[in-house]
């Protein structure tokens, strides 16, 4: 009788115990993470949304107060010639610095992975230093070097400065790709009597190309967006970030908002197209396999 009463009490306790308490706690955690993610995205996207909205603002003297919707800013972007000139300078600097940094950084990455030479560890350390050095220190040091060498500041010094700090990012990106290559593929090409140049351009380079493209895109983004190093080494030359910084005191022109919005939308479209292309390629390979 006592045993049956104990069993009944145990069943009652189990029935009244919160069975799904771990799930309940997990549900609260999931909701909390979702809310935190939404807040973070809203916080990050507010400046972008402000930029896009005020690119359609009717402008009089300043572009700080909303006065009405208009397409004129998008249709007449270069009414403010300083905006287009600064944007063109940023594109010019970014393209040249990216090409130079990508070529030099790719060669350095291959050398650091494939070859053993004296001071290899010291070279690796020196390549990582620009990434760890504050931009203020780096920009001031480069400005002092150009001043000592008697090089006048302008577009050329900006390109040299951007190439210098972009090389480190290229080396890091491409080096990881080089380290992941299978040497047997190149060895197979040499066994088929291919010359070293043919092995590089037909086997090594296509395999490295995704890493090289990623490094080039990263370099261009860093160069186009840089202000601190550019401000130290630009002299009278004006890039887009430098123009935005100067114009912010009196209200950024709507044409600058137009260019910034166009760059953002172009980047988003590029990412979406790349993702869709990759997904279509994976599906095609899955069907063929």
* pLDDT tens, residue by residue, 43-70: 888 888 888 888 888 877 777 778 888 8
CATH of the domain at 202: 1.10.3720.10
Q: How far is the C-alpha of 134 from the C-alpha of 97, rounded, in Å?
A: 20
Residue 126 pLDDT:
86
Give percent of the chain with pLDDT exceeding 90.
31
Nearest of 65, 32, 273, 228 to residue 136 by alpha carbon: 228
Q: Is residue 89 part of a domain?
A: yes
Residue 21: pLDDT band (50, 70, 90) is: low
For the residues 162-182, what does the mean pLDDT come to?
Answer: 91
> Is the pLDDT assigned to residue 187 strictly greater than 80?
yes
Residue 67 pLDDT:
82
Residue 233: pLDDT band (50, 70, 90) is: very high
The H-or-E segment that residue 159 falls in is helix 155-179
Residue 26 pLDDT:
52
The angle subtended at Cα 185 by Cα 184 and Cα 186, nearest 5°, is 95
Q: Is residue 196 part of a domain?
A: yes
pLDDT digits (tens, 9 = 90+) for 79-126: 778 888 999 999 999 999 999 999 999 999 999 988 888 888 888 888
> Is the pLDDT assigned to residue 249 strictly greater than 80?
no
112, 171 Cβ separation under 8 angstroms: yes
Q: Is residue 179 part of a domain?
A: yes
> Is the pLDDT assigned to residue 3 strictly greater than 60?
no
Domain carrying residue 185: 80-253
pLDDT digits (tens, 9 = 90+) for 213-227: 999 999 999 999 899
Domains of the chain: total: 1
Q: Is residue 186 part of a domain?
A: yes
Residue 31: pLDDT band (50, 70, 90) is: confident
Residue 9 pLDDT:
44
Pair of tokens at residue 140: 């001031």
167, 105 Cβ separation under 8 angstroms: yes
Q: Is residue 75 part of a domain?
A: no
* pTM listed for this prediction: 0.78
Q: Is residue 122 part of a domain?
A: yes
Q: Is residue 264 part of a domain?
A: no
For the residues 179-184, what does the mean pLDDT come to?
Answer: 86
The angle subtended at Cα 218 by Cα 201 and Cα 273, nearest 5°, is 80
Q: Is residue 278 part of a domain?
A: no
Residue 158: pLDDT band (50, 70, 90) is: very high
Residue 257: pLDDT band (50, 70, 90) is: confident
> Is the pLDDT assigned to residue 29 strictly greater than 80?
no
Report the chain's mean pLDDT, rounded to a whole number: 84
For the residues 166-189, what does the mean pLDDT come to?
Answer: 89
> Is the pLDDT assigned to residue 274 strictly greater than 70?
yes
Nearest of 262, 220, 281 to residue 94 by alpha carbon: 220
Nearest of 59, 121, 105, 2 to residue 254 by alpha carbon: 59
């Amino acid at each position: 009788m006592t045993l049956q009463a104990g069993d009944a009490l145990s069943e009652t306790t189990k029935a009244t115990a919160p069975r799904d308490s771990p799930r309940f706690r997990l549900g609260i955690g999931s909701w909390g993470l979702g809310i935190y993610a939404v807040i973070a995205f809203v916080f990050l996207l507010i400046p972008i949304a402000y930029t896009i909205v005020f690119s359609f603002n009717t402008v009089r003297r300043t572009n700080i107060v909303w006065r009405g919707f208009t397409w004129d800013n998008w249709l007449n972007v270069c009414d403010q010639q300083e905006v287009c000139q600064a944007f063109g300078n940023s594109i010019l600097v970014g393209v040249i610095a990216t090409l130079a940094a990508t070529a030099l950084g790719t060669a350095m990455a291959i050398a650091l992975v494939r070859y053993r030479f004296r001071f290899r560890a010291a070279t690796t350390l020196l390549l990582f230093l620009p990434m760890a050095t504050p931009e203020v220190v780096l920009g001031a040091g480069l400005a002092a070097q150009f001043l000592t060498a008697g090089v006048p500041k302008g577009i050329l010094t900006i390109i040299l400065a951007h190439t210098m700090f972009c090389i480190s990012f290229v080396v890091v990106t491409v080096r990881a790709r080089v380290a992941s290559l299978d040497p047997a593929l190149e060895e197979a090409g040499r066994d088929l009597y291919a010359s070293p140049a043919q092995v590089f351009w037909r086997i090594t380079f296509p395999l490295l190309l995704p890493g090289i493209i990623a490094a080039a895109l990263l370099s261009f983004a860093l160069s186009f967006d840089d202000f601190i190093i550019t401000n130290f080494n630009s002299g009278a030359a004006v890039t887009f970030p430098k123009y935005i910084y100067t114009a912010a005191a009196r209200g950024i022109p709507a044409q600058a908002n137009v260019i910034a919005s166009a760059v953002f939308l172009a980047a988003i479209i590029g990412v979406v197209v790349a993702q869709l292309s990759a997904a279509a390629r994976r599906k095609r390979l899955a069907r063929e396999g």
